[in-house]
Amino acid sequence: MKLYQSLMPAALLLAASTSLSSAAETWDMPTAYPASNFQTVNAQDFSKCVATGTNGDISIVVHPNGSLFKGNDIKRAVQTGQTQMGERLLSAHENENALFGTDSIPFIATSYDDSVKLYHAAKPEMSKLLEEQGIKLVYSVPWPPQGLFFNKDVNSVADMGGVKVRSYNKATARLAELTGMVPISIEAAEISQAMAAGVINSLITSAVTGQDSKVWEQLTHFYVVQAWMPRNAVIINKTVWDGLSPDKQKVIDDCAVAAEAAGIEKSKAANDAAVAALKSNGMKVLDPSSKLAGELDDIGAKMAAEWVAKAGDPGAAVLKDFKK
Ligand code: PCA
């Protein structure tokens, strides 16, 4: 009787602590792009992978299209713990540190293979920067190469003068300046509205974001200039991460590796489908004239030099590693 009595609370305690440590948690994951976009579909697949791997202990709810936080607010929301996770275009934070803009240096990495190589060269330094901000980098997936959308023939930089273009990071804004365009910062979720209202009449983005924005309703030309391949990064609040058991951290790491590989394939397929959609909706999909391509090359070289000057030794080390 005595033994039974003394064992009982321990057993109850154990049961209670077991159910506590395996209590199901629900996390938020805001993103800035539509539910049907390949980045979002990939994030949903990642969420399923984590749910399966943790036997339902961690459910990640993806909130697409800026519905929970606007793109520009997602990184800070993760950093301050307003959300556990989030997906963000890190190059939009190049003003904090040039390293965040590594993927948007013009004409450096314009193929998927090179994008992966550049990412791996930049990742250690970028992860360190993020950790200092209380954020852990989980995975990252490149957008398709960036092109130029207009509502007219553009055969040289002179034809771009005065055009109002949507910018989404420092590189898009700088490219606009150097080509005589007027950059206007607009969230992806608001592009269609801004085009319809005449706030912008040009985009620097992928065929995919052009398709997502039904760009053919206002614009007519897509120039395949392959400027760069910016990346979205899925990030997690470091305190949340540090509070996880090693088993759960491993599930997330494994799902992240799978998401990076699958994301690249989704990005390629989405680009092909988007180019087809632009054409079938009557848009001209064109290579730039040799004059335009040459002028953009010169501007790209200037921007790359500016980036190197800003990024200093860590930036030079990243590019050296990428080129070897
Ligand atoms: N789409 C995103 C980033 C790059 C891209 O292709 C956007 O335009 O916001």
Which residue ranges form the domains of the chain, and what is each CATH number?
A: 25-143+230-274 (3.40.190.170), 147-228+283-322 (3.40.190.170)
Residues having CB closer than 6 A to ligand 1 are 89, 143, 168, 188, 205-206, 208-209, 230
Pairwise CA distance, residues 59 & 96, whole Å: 31
Pocket of ligand 1, candidates 74, 110, 168: which has the most ligand atoms within 8 Å of its Cβ, to mutate? 168
User: Which helix H or strand E contains 279, and what residues bound it?
Assistant: helix 246-280
- Whether 2 has a pLDDT exceeding 70, the answer reads no
Shortest-distance Cα residue to atom 8 of ligand 1: 205
Q: 22: pLDDT confidence band, cut at 50, 70 and 90? A: low
Q: How far apart are CA 298 and CA 170, in angstroms?
A: 18
Question: How confident is the model over 286-318, as pLDDT tens digits?
Answer: 999 999 999 999 999 999 999 999 999 999 999
Cα 278–chain centre separation: 22
pLDDT digits (tens, 9 = 90+) for 47-105: 999 999 999 999 999 999 999 999 999 999 999 999 999 999 999 999 999 999 999 99
Q: Give the per-residue pLDDT at 3.
A: 46
Residue located via tokens 């948007």: 104
Residue 6: the pLDDT is: 47
Closest atom of ligand 1 to CA, residue 89: 3
Once rounded to an integer, what is the mean pLDDT over residues 252-257?
98
Decide if pLDDT at 35 tops 60: yes
Per-residue pLDDT tens over the stretch 52-63: 999 999 999 999
Q: Is the confidence at residue 272, as pLDDT, over 70? A: yes
pTM score of the predicted model: 0.93
Residue 108 near residue 121, CB atoms below 8 Å: no
- Nearest C-alpha to atom 6 of ligand 1 is from which residue? 206
Angle, helix 38-53 to helix 246-280, in steps of 10 degrees: 160
